[in-house]
Amino acid sequence: MSKLSKKERQEQLVEMLKKKPFMTDEEIAKHFNVSVQTIRLDRLEQSIPELRERIKVVAERNLDQVRSLRVDEVIGEMIDLQLDQSAISILDIGEEHVFTRNKIARGHHLFAQANSLAIAVIDEELALTASAKIRFLRSVKAGERVVAKARVVEKRAGRTKVKVESFSGQEMVFAGTFTVYRAEKEKY
Amino acid sequence: MSKLSKKERQEQLVEMLKKKPFMTDEEIAKHFNVSVQTIRLDRLEQSIPELRERIKVVAERNLDQVRSLRVDEVIGEMIDLQLDQSAISILDIGEEHVFTRNKIARGHHLFAQANSLAIAVIDEELALTASAKIRFLRSVKAGERVVAKARVVEKRAGRTKVKVESFSGQEMVFAGTFTVYRAEKEKY
DNA sequence: ACTCCTATTAGGACCAAGTGCTAATTTTAA
DNA sequence: TTAAAATTAGCACTTGGTCCTAATAGGAGT
């Protein structure tokens, strides 16, 4: 069979590596029946990283999933608490909170901080989040310190509404309103 | 501080690499304050493969799962994924997810499952939650299996709306609508 | 046929993160 | 103090590359 054109080869290469990212240049070269150098040029032009880099990317994806929300993970450190009024907690974003690829904090950590703060501020035996409306205003990266401020904005039969705003420095990065269900101890 | 004994060092080494498998011998050596050669011997004795091999193993584990489907960074176990359409994951609620007092699952775990599923369903390099509106319909206890079902309900410039409903048996326990911001890789 | 231009090959120096080996030095324990 | 165990050092070699330069092959146009 005649050799493919450069364009065709590169297109096929991209597709192939999506399915089989573990091929060395040598194997690829054999597959297309061209020299190793040609493949290197192809990768360069298509900005496909080298084998080890490709493997690493796949591996990191996997590792991320393991580092999920661990139980004992403290969701921020409480630094102020006025029961039924307001509360403040801080959470230092570390490597364990971010996506490895882009270092951006996973949303559920910011949520967890805010949610647990909203619950802590309630002065009751049993408090559970019933609903919430949240917004992620800016992405937070590893190294930043997020300060969450909660305040009770409404309190009525069985339900309390808590507003939480989280900041990194002066900037608000997250905001949410939590409706928390509360009940005296008897029921459950 | 005094150096650890060989045994202690090797034990710690094994544990450390379980958590952070991406360390080079040099980094490890620095960490334990011994020579690189010592670490090589340690790995030999504990039959811990070299860095590249370790990365590869982690990557393969991932690749095995559901190939071209990006099982990415999901909390819970992904059992179905139609990119840009729908996805399903299951999460078994264990002791580690609940409040000790009443065995009720902490809300942020249900949120994390739903949120990560909403992100996984997006067929794009970068996807981040912009906002969400959620409801906790019934409390979930340790031992229950929560099945989250996500489906894309709206897609337009830069944003996709994903609806997630989570069930325990027949009962819906959680529902949320996530607005996910998506972008091709170039920017940031 | 001759000339350009693109594509393909070739080759060498260098790199990271090792393996495998031998040998020297240090520590520890009997 | 002396033997055994542990640690450190050094060197050659390996993989799967990068980066760079240079040579050659194939066509298209004139």
pLDDT tens column, B69-101: 233 345 777 777 778 888 888 888 887 787 766
Q: Could you tell me which chain B residue has the CA closest to the CA of A59?
A: B59
More confident residue, B185 or A14: A14
Residues of chain A with pLDDT below 50 are 1, 65-74, 185-188
Q: What is the pLDDT of residue B68?
A: 27
Q: What is the pLDDT of residue A172?
A: 96
pLDDT of B139-169, one tens digit each? 999 999 999 999 999 988 888 999 999 999 8
What is the pLDDT confidence band of residue B61, given thresholds at 50, 70 and 90? low
Q: Identify the residue whose Cα has the smallest distance to the C1' of D15.
A: A24
Look at B68 and A106 and tell me if their CB atoms are within 8 Å: no
Its sign, for the CA torsion A65, A67, A73, A79, is: negative
Q: Is B52 on the interface with A (CB under 8 A)?
A: yes
The closest alpha carbon to B55, from A80, A61, A137, A39, belongs to A61
Residues with CB under 7 A from strand C: A 3, 5-6, 9, 34-35, 37-38, 41; B 3, 24-26, 37, 40, 43-44, 49-52
**Nearest nucleotide, C1' to the C-alpha of B38?**
D7
Would the pLDDT of B116 be above 60?
yes
A111 closest CB neighbour out of B61, B62, B111: B111
Q: What is the pLDDT of residue A145?
A: 92
Long-range own/partner contacts, residues A66-74 (CB < 8 A, 24 or more apart) = A67/A96, A68/B75, A68/B112, A69/A108, A69/A109, A69/A112, A69/B75, A69/B108, A69/B109, A69/B112, A70/B96, A71/B95, A71/B96, A71/B97, A72/B96
- Residue A121 is classified by DSSP as T
Would the pLDDT of B186 be above 70?
no
Q: Provide, in whole angstroms, the distance separating residue A42's CA from nucleotide D20's C1'.
A: 17
Domains of chain B: 6-62 (1.10.10.10), 69-183 (3.10.129.10)
> At how many degrees (to 10) do helices A51-66 and B51-64 cross?
70
Q: What is the pLDDT of residue A69?
A: 40
pLDDT of B170-181, one tens digit each? 899 999 999 988
Q: What is the pLDDT of residue A121?
A: 85
pLDDT of A165-187, one tens digit each? 999 988 999 999 999 887 654 33
More confident residue, B124 or A141: A141
Q: Could you tell me which chain B residue has the CA closest to the CA of A105?
A: B128
B56 closest CB neighbour out of A55, A75, A116: A55
pLDDT of B35-58, one tens digit each? 999 999 999 989 899 999 889 888
Q: Is A37 on the interface with B (CB under 8 A)?
A: no
Q: What is the pLDDT of residue A64?
A: 55
